[in-house]
Chains A and B, each alone.
Chain A
């Protein structure tokens, strides 16, 4: 348990509310949600936990404990003016920690870490919330309205101190009901406004209002965006039927669509519209007309429109303002590419942070059981299928380890051989594809050069894109076939291998095409850019057709085969990886083409839009939900990374190479007559000289200076190095902290074992005499005191104990393991400590026999405590829907202890019966000490001469020492 008592009950100053508040503020960590932030306090927290258990006699742990603790200890400190209750509380803590105040062991306040008093805010909020959202409101009689109010006040105070943005975030994160959140927020606002009205004037009010209205406006836009969200219903349907991993594909598709819409708007707005406004009619030669084939080939009629680079002029458009077409073209494309890069880098980094840096593949079973269930699934059939899939996977993961060990060396070598063969085969396939495409391009060129431009000739241009798309479709299928022959130890590696091969294939194909366009095409045509644009247009269109065919063959046909012809194949699954790669490839084409054909994004939008519906229909008609619940978030990260790294970077470098190094065609386009595209900027700067010198200065000294880039690179490298070191340090820290958590756990279990042991001996020994002597002897004690109630109490104790023992037997038969034992033992511990407390009060009574009120008071309190325990228990009975025996056993212990406590209190009241409780205290304390010393000698004889208090405290010291020793051992351990 890592929730620590932050109440700081040891420190008397704690009871001062001011201190509490200050401490909390000062120690609040920036990332307070980290429950392990104050690790080194565990030692005290541990103790406090146990003590608290003792206090409450409750068998609940963790959060409720925390909340109770907080709620009990805080208000007691500064609300109640009743000194009795305060002193009682003080007593409790004292007695639980030290048997006697003036014993030689005195935990001085100075030795304790101050920060142990700090309240971890989140913890506390959850504490309240636990109560609030507790399924059984008012189950705890100790919880009163006042305390809740108070807790709430503290929360409000903490919230007020935060910035508005932070406030909203924090309130949203509160695990409370809607009503409560609203209430808290109202209070925060009221508090704030009252504070502001005292201190500030109209100006700040005004700025407040403005910021508020801005925020509201922001929310409005956000919500509008959400209500207008594209394909919301379809997404829900797909998610409900196929789970979130398939949904990843559709989200990715939508994201790319948004990219293209943005790109289209930019290009259309800054390049095409000004041209169209200036000169609406395209200058098309009279002999060229629209024939329909252009839709496929992009040649002919389209060649003279604004579709391609060639359709734009290099003029400065003279209208209301001068519009330099060259600059507009250059900067639009450049800024668009840079923006794309930035968006990609940010989403990639974000995705990496969320999905990779934190992800941990080690906890597979836990993940499968507790995190993998997709709550968004709403389809009955899918739910059933998922359940059986999960079952299969769990079984697999159970048998996985035994399977791994059986591999011999020869088998391993065989496997490596297969892997190597597959890699060689797939790589050579990819290279072969690239080579064949290059020769095909050359052949096509020669064929075109030979004859006059005809319709057939135009149709022939479709050959290259057709072959390319065919390769893109067929070869991945071959790769997946290969993949089936390879035996990968884990599924993820298999997916990655397949992905890598497909990426390689596409990179080779695109690389060859780009090489051809960059090196061969410019030499052959007078107006070469539109030719490249046309080639890209054809690729985009044919790729689209093949995507449609692919979903027909890939999904529909295999569905038919799986259901009608070969049932052992089964209904196909939707291959997310292959489909996403297709999308990435399509998007890369659009990026490369942006320079040669600025309106290509329009085609892309249309393509993606149709593709979405097509894939949706194909998915729902032909596919079944994925059999394996793969980690979709990580796959998504990889897709974004792939989109960025080989593909976007490749496209960017290709465009950049074109703009910097290639000579634009001399006959057409916005840049004709220039050495290279970039010289547009040089000319522009030269024109600016004289009018705005700072721009020129920037250009000369920053853009064109190698020194600047050299320094920039140097600085970036230094920064990267520093961050790298920081990361290493953090990694080390994380390792240490994790080790510490584990140590704390060991520590706790060690202590619990000790306590359990102690408790066993404690319950055995007094039980011994009772059983041996029988109830009569004890009752005779009661008789001597002449108190009827006393013997009643005794009977109760015995009954309760019997009950407990039965429970315990039953439990041992049932084989209930550690957890229930721990909670039972903690209940026992609580009872034990409560008892010690009572006995301490008894001692007080002996020391001052004339002070009857105090004893009565102690009795009252014991009674009250018992009452509370009973109430608790009753509530438990009443409320627990899933009642288990643990509760009853623990409550039995509590009951027994409380009853016994009362019995002893009663007897304590009777002066004639003085020695009996004393000796019983003695026995117990002796036992405790003996256990602490781990001596197995069974000396149960009471020693009336020895003073109980020192022995008790020495037992405590022993325990402390043992613990310290254990701690040291663990520390040495790592």
Chain B
């Protein structure tokens, strides 16, 4: 019920999921078969294949943290990335996606990784450092030199575009 509004696409999503590997996924899900699709298949979806964060997305939403997804993980992923997901939820998962080392803070190394993913490693080290410093300087409210989830959410609230950009259309 939590995701009732998106349930109508669940059927659609299931077919998408199944299309990735018809030989692995049974049509009949009544007995809750334990099926996991490997990351290679998930990451090759047209919606994800060009996304610089595809691996992180898959890792964050998969139960095992390796990017291998069950149907439920798959549904979760697209429900969070859908239009209807509340902002806080989106911000939470976006934070996790950017948090490459899973320490619950966006520290400089996370930001550098994000930056390198977004700019194809074409900035000099000096520039990367400056940008990261600037980002932390702008968004870090409590001056601990890294961004906590609160800092991040605070920033998201002030960036109304985020809702439309953190969105994958199915």
Q: Which residues of B contact A634 (CB under 8 A)?
A: 160-161
Question: Which listed residue, A173, A219, A879, touches B5 by the CB 8 Å rule?
Answer: A219
Which residues from B are CB-within-8-Å of A3? 148, 150
Check A379/B2 contact, CB under 8 A, given A369-B135, A394-B127. no
A244-B165, A632-B161 as given contacts; A2 in contact with B104, CB under 8 Å? no
B131 pairs with A365, CB closer than 8 A: yes
Q: Does B88 interact with chain A (Cβ within 8 Å)?
A: yes
Among A222, A365, A391, A632, contact of B123 (Cβ-Cβ < 8 Å): A391
Q: Which of B1, B94, B104, B138 contacts A366 (CB 8 A)?
A: B138
Which residues of the other chain, B, contact A746 by a CB distance below 8 angstroms?
Answer: 143
Cβ-defined contact, A372 with B165, below 8 A: yes
Inter-chain contact A223/B5, CB cutoff 8 Å? yes
Contacts of A355 in B (CB 8 A): 160
Given A244-B165, A884-B101, are A175 and B123 also a contact pair (CB < 8 Å)? no
Which residues between 776 and 829 of chain A lie within 8 Å of chain B, taking CB atoms? 817-820, 822-823
Q: Does B34 contact A (CB under 8 A)?
A: no
Interface string of B148-167 (1 = CB under 8 A from A): 11101101111111111111
Q: Which residues of A contact B123 (CB under 8 A)?
A: 391, 394-395
Q: Are B144 and A376 in contact (CB under 8 A)?
A: no
**Nearest CB in chain A: distance from B33 CB, A:** 14
B49: chain A residues within 8 A (beta carbon):
378
B78 to chain A, nearest CB (A): 11
- In contact, B101 and A370 (Cβ under 8 angstroms): no
| Residue B44 lies at the interface, judged by CB distance under 8 Å to chain A | no
Cβ of B160: which chain A residues have Cβ within 8 Å of it? 354-355, 358-359, 631, 633-634
Number of residues from A at the complex interface, CB < 8 A: 101
Q: Which of B47, B120, B161 contacts A388 (CB 8 A)?
A: B120
Q: Please report the C-alpha to C-alpha distance between residue A913 and residue B138 in the assembled complex, in whole angstroms.
A: 55
Partner of A631, one of B50, B102, B161: B161
B72 at the interface (CB under 8 A from A): yes
Chain B nearest Cβ from A823, distance in angstroms: 8
**A-chain residues with CB within 8 Å of residue B119 when the two chains form the complex:** 387-388, 390-391, 394
**Contact of B122 with A391 in the complex, beta carbons under 8 Å:** yes
CA distance A239 to B81 in the complex (A): 14
Is A63 close to B, CB under 8 A? yes
Task: Determine whether the beta carbon of B161 is less than 8 Å from that of A2.
Answer: no
Q: At the interface, yes or no: B65 with Cβ under 8 Å from chain A? A: yes
Query: Once the chains bind, are A363 and B169 in contact (CB under 8 Å)?
Result: no
Chain B: minimal CB distance from A738 (Å)? 8
A488 at the interface (CB under 8 A from B): no
Instruction: Tell me whether B2 and A882 are in contact (CB under 8 A).
Output: no
B3 touches A370 (CB 8 A): no
Interface-located stretch among A13-21, A179-187, A552-560, A685-693: A179-187
A35 at interface (Cβ–Cβ under 8 A)?
yes
- Note all chain B residues with C-beta closer than 8 A to A564: none
With a cutoff of 8 Å between Cβ atoms, the chain A residues found around residue B157 in the complex are 358
Could you give, for residues 225-251 of chain A, a 1 whenever the CB lies within 8 Å of some chain B CB and a 0 otherwise?
A: 011000010011001100010000000
Contact A375 B76 (CB under 8 A): no
A395 vs B115: C-alpha distance in the bound complex, in angstroms? 12
| Contact assessment for A817 and B108 in the assembled complex, using a CB-CB cutoff below 8 Å | yes
Contact status of A882 and B101, CB under 8 A, knowing A35-B150, A745-B142:
yes
Query: With the chains together, A133 CA to B61 CA distance in Å?
Result: 8
Q: A360: which B residues are within 8 A, CB to CB?
A: 158-159
Mask of B97-123 contacts with A, CB within 8 angstroms, 1/0:
010111111111101001100111011
**Interface pair A244/B131, CB less than 8 Å apart:** no
Complexed CA–CA distance, A360 and B115 (Å):
22
Residues of chain B contacted by A168 (CB below 8 angstroms): 1-2, 4
Contact of A35 among B120, B131, B153, B163 (CB under 8 A): B153
Provide the residues of chain A in CB contact with B170, threshold 8 Å: 236
Give the most central of B7, B149, B161: most A CB within 10 Å.
B161
Tell me if B16 is interfacial: C-beta within 8 Å of chain A.
no
The yes or no answer to A538 lying at the interface (CB within 8 A) is no
The complex places the Cα of A171 from the Cα of B3 at a distance, in Å, of 9
Residues on A with beta carbons closer than 8 Å to the beta carbon of B59: 135, 881
Chain A's closest residue to B156 (CB) is: A371
What 1/0 flags go to A150-187 for Cβ under 8 Å of B?
A: 00000000000000000011011111011101101100
CB < 8 Å neighbour of B8 from A227, A358, A382, A749: A227
Per the bound structure, the CA–CA distance linking A796 and B156 in Å amounts to: 47
B19 in the interface (beta carbon within 8 A):
no
A1-23 contact mask (Cβ, 8 Å, vs B): 1 or 0: 11100000000000000000000
Interface class of chain A by DSSP: helix
Using known A-B contacts A375-B166, A394-B123, determine if residue A63 contacts B89 with beta carbons closer than 8 Å.
Answer: no
Assembly CA distance A394 to B142 (angstroms): 25
Q: Are B76's CB and A178's CB within 8 A?
A: yes
B42-72 vs A, Cβ < 8 Å mask (1 yes, 0 no): 0000110111110000011001110000001
- Whole-angstrom distance between the Cβ of A177 and the nearest chain B Cβ: 6
A354 to B158, CA, bound (A): 9
Given A35-B153, A62-B148, A375–B142 Cβ distance below 8 Å?
no
Q: What separation, in Å, do the CA atoms of A130 and B105 have in the docked complex?
A: 13
Q: CB-nearest residue of chain B relative to A364?
A: B138
Of the candidates B72, B88, B153, B158, the one whose C-beta lies within 8 Å of that of A177 is: B72
Q: Once the chains are docked, how many angstroms separate the CA of A266 from the CA of B120?
A: 54
Q: Contacts A366-B155, A383-B50 given; indicate if A185 touches B1 (C-beta within 8 A).
A: yes
Interface centre among A240, A364, A373, by most chain B C-beta atoms within 10 angstroms, is: A373
Smallest CB gap from B135: residue in A: A366
Q: Are A819 and B89 in contact (CB under 8 A)?
A: no
Report which residue of A59, A177, A219, A236 has the largest number of chain B beta carbons within 10 angstroms of its beta carbon.
A177
A175, B2: Cβ atoms closer than 8 Å: no
Once the chains bind, are B168 and A383 in contact (CB under 8 Å)?
no
Instruction: Knowing A178-B3, A741-B142, A744-B142 are in contact, say whether A383-B52 is a contact too (CB < 8 A).
Output: yes
**B131 — which chain A residues lie within 8 A by C-beta?**
365, 369, 394, 398
Q: Do the beta carbons of B92 and A373 come within 8 Å of each other?
A: no
Q: Chain A contacts of B120 at CB under 8 A?
A: 384, 387-388, 391
B68–chain A nearest beta-carbon distance, Å:
12
Residues of B within 8 A of A179 (CB): 72
A61 at the interface (CB under 8 A from B): yes
Please give, as numbers and ranges, the residues of chain B lying within 8 Å of A172 by CB-CB distance.
2-3, 85-86, 89
B95: min CB distance to chain A, Å: 9
Closest chain B residue, CB of each to CB of A362 = B138
- CB-CB under 8 A for A177 and B76, given A168-B2, A372-B161, A631-B161: yes
Q: Decide: A365 and B134 in contact? CB cutoff 8 A.
A: yes
A62 & B63 in contact (Cβ 8 Å cutoff):
no
Instruction: List, in ascending order, chain B residues with CB within 8 A of A372's CB.
Output: 161, 165
Inter-chain contacts of B114 with A (CB < 8 A): 369-370
**Cα–Cα, bound, A33→B103 (Å):** 22
The distance in angstroms between the C-alpha atoms of A137 and B102, with both chains bound, is 13
Residues on B with beta carbons closer than 8 Å to the beta carbon of A395: 123, 127
> 19 additional contacts, CB 8 Å, given A172-B85, A817-B145?
A3-B150, A33-B88, A36-B150, A62-B104, A182-B1, A223-B5, A232-B169, A365-B134, A365-B138, A366-B139, A375-B168, A391-B119, A394-B119, A398-B127, A398-B130, A748-B144, A749-B143, A749-B144, A818-B146
Which residues of chain A have a CB within 8 Å of any CB of chain B?
A: 1-3, 33, 35-36, 59-64, 122, 126, 130, 133, 135-137, 168-169, 171-175, 177-179, 181-182, 184-185, 219, 222-223, 226-227, 232, 235-236, 239-240, 244, 354-355, 358-360, 362-367, 369-380, 382-384, 387-388, 390-391, 394-395, 397-398, 631-634, 738, 741-742, 744-746, 748-749, 817-820, 822-823, 879-882, 884
User: Can you sample 12 A-B contacts with CB below 8 Å?
Assistant: A171-B2, A181-B3, A182-B2, A232-B169, A366-B155, A370-B98, A370-B139, A370-B155, A394-B131, A398-B127, A634-B160, A742-B143
Q: What are the 6 A-B residue pairs with the smallest beta carbon separation, nearest first?
A: A135-B65, A745-B142, A745-B143, A223-B8, A360-B158, A818-B145
